[in-house]
């Protein structure tokens, strides 16, 4: 048995190495909010945490990690496609940083004022600070300046941000000071200007390959169906979806402009909005049974609760639900989105897909 296991292990290792060598990607660095957080809020004084069961019940270890999902997230699936390890959370990465680090923080946004309702979190500017700290004090210390720069330039920077700036800032009930101060158009311009600023910082640190994920269909999440009293099947909160769609349209339009202003960069816009919206409207067409309720839930209209609670009763079959909890899709959805981003058409990834980006 032992020789057999050794042979299998060797073949698996060889396959993994060969897979990684097919792509010119050294690491995956992840930034953003709870859609991609892998545990950076675990030890913060924050209301946005997922370091308890039933979160993580379908993860590789079947244990909670801090991911707001039953299993893997989109960047986890992409890292596996590349033959890389899953990026560890920044707060627990230690020296394990050469194949990527996850800096994302639940509740965060582009603006420092976003997500204060959750108490503590790391905003996107703070996450970029953390990346620069890792690059200078860990990666460069291990590899030297030249090789660290090469690693940085060959890495993929996966960013999912903006949802909290809208839902938990500008449109926060009962009223937001920013909604009084800015029109929706001016607020969106403010967000995109900050987005560009943080991309410039990452580019200045050597980043060249960026994947900017769109906002999802914010108005279709169970928590927002509850907040705005939407009970009809397949219906969503239109003004939130409209706000997300406007943000996405401007972000997509900015991809070409930002690519030209950041020499040597390649930026991909990854569209999650359309697929999630279609899943909610037509779950059965995609093999799902429930599109408007949360699996991890048990009270409230549309199956939504304020948070997925510790050891709460969950659905039996997570794969039949579009949403895992009140705001976050199930890992099945994340896997399908990753597939679309990886080798989908320009409707999924623009102007090229992530697989093509990985060969540049």
Catalytic residue numbers read 34, 325, 328
- Alpha-carbon distance 5 to 158, whole Å? 35
Residues 6+ apart with CB under 8 A from 146: none
Tell me the two tokens of residue 16.
Answer: 């993994």
Burial state string for 82-98 with b = 16 or more CB within 10 A and e = fewer than 16: bbbbbbbbbbbbeeebb
Residues 6+ apart with CB under 8 A from 29: 87, 100, 101, 102, 103, 131, 155, 156, 157, 158, 207
- Alpha-carbon distance 187 to 277, whole Å? 24
- Please confirm whether the linkage preceding 313 is cis (ω < 30° from 0): no
- Alpha-carbon distance 307 to 54, whole Å? 12
- Alpha-carbon distance 116 to 94, whole Å? 28
Residues 6+ apart with CB under 8 A from 237: 218, 219, 220, 224, 225, 227, 228, 230
CB 188 within 8 Å of CB 171: no
């Amino acid at each position: 048995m032992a020789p057999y296991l050794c042979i299998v292990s060797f073949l698996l290792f060889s396959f993994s190495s060969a897979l990684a060598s097919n792509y010119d990607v050294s690491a995956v660095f992840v930034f953003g909010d709870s859609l991609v957080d892998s545990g950076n809020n675990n030890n913060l004084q924050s209301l946005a945490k997922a370091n308890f069961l039933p979160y993580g019940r379908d993860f590789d270890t079947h244990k909670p990690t801090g991911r707001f999902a039953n299993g893997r997230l989109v960047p986890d699936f992409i890292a596996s496609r590349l033959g890389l390890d899953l990026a560890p959370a920044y707060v627990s990465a230690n020296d394990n940083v050469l194949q990527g680090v996850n800096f994302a923080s639940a509740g965060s946004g582009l603006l420092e004022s976003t997500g204060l309702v959750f108490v503590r979190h790391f905003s996107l500017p703070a996450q970029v600070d953390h990346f620069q700290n890792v690059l200078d004090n860990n990666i460069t210390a291990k590899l030297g300046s030249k090789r660290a720069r090469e690693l940085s330039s060959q890495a993929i920077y996966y960013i999912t941000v903006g949802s909290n700036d809208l839902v938990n800032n500008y449109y926060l009930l009962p009223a937001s000071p920013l909604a009084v101060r800015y029109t929706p158009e001016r607020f969106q311009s403010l967000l995109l200007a900050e987005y560009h600023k943080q991309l410039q910082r990452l580019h200045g640190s050597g980043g060249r390959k960026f994947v900017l994920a769109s906002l999802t269909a914010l108005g279709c999440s169970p928590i927002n169906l509850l907040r705005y009293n939407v009970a009809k099947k397949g219906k969503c909160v239109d003004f939130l979806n409209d706000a997300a769609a406007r943000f996405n349209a401007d972000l997509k339009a900015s991809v070409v402009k930002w690519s030209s202003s950041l020499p040597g960069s390649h930026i991909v816009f990854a569209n999650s909005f359309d697929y999630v919206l279609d899943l909610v409207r037509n779950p059965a067409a995609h093999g799902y049974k429930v599109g408007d309720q949360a699996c991890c839930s048990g009270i409230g209209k549309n199956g939504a609760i304020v948070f997925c609670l510790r050891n709460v009763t969950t659905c039996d079959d997570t794969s039949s639900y579009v949403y895992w909890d009140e705001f976050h899709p199930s890992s099945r959805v994340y896997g399908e989105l990753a597939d679309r981003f990886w080798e989908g058409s320009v409707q999924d990834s623009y102007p090229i897909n992530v697989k093509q980006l990985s060969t540049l």
